[in-house]
A and B are shown apart, each in its own frame.
Chain A
Amino acid sequence: MFDLNGMSALVTGASGGIGSAIARALAEQGARIALSGTREDALQAVAAEIGGDAVILPANLSDAASVDGLVPRAVEALGKLDILINNAGVTRDNLAMRMKDEEWADVIRINLEAGFRLSRAALKPMMRARFGRIVSITSVVGATGNPGQANYAASKAGLVGMSKALAQEVASRNITVNCVAPGFIRSAMTDALPEAQKDNLMGKIPAGRLGEGIDVAAAVVYLASREAAYVTGQTLHVNGGMAML
Chain B
Amino acid sequence: MSETADRVKKIVVEHLGVEAEKVTEDASFIDDLGADSLDIVELVMAFEEEFGVEIPDDAAEKITTVRDAITYIDSNKA
Contacts and interface: CB of A to CB of B under 8 A. Distances in A.
A170 B38 contact: yes
Interface of B (DSSP majority class):
helix
A169 B40 CA distance: 13
Interface string B41-67: 110010000000000000000000000
A100 interface: no
Contacts of B45: 124, 127-128
Nearest to B41: A127
Contacts of B41: 127
Contacts, number: 9
A226 B74 CA distance: 40
A128 B42 CA distance: 8
B46 to A, nearest CB: 9
Interface string A142-185: 00000000000000000000000000011011000000000000
Contacts of A172: 38
A169 B38 CA distance: 8
Interface in A112-137: 124, 127-128
A173 B37 CA distance: 13
Nearest to A171: B38
A127 B41 CA distance: 9
A127 B44 CA distance: 12
A114 B38 CA distance: 23
Contacts of A128: 45
A170 B38 CA distance: 8
Nearest to A125: B45
Nearest to B42: A127
Interface of B: 38, 41-42, 45
9 contacts: A124-B45, A127-B41, A127-B42, A127-B45, A128-B45, A169-B38, A170-B38, A172-B38, A173-B38
Interface of A: 124, 127-128, 169-170, 172-173
Given A127-B42, A128-B45, 7 more contacts: A124-B45, A127-B41, A127-B45, A169-B38, A170-B38, A172-B38, A173-B38
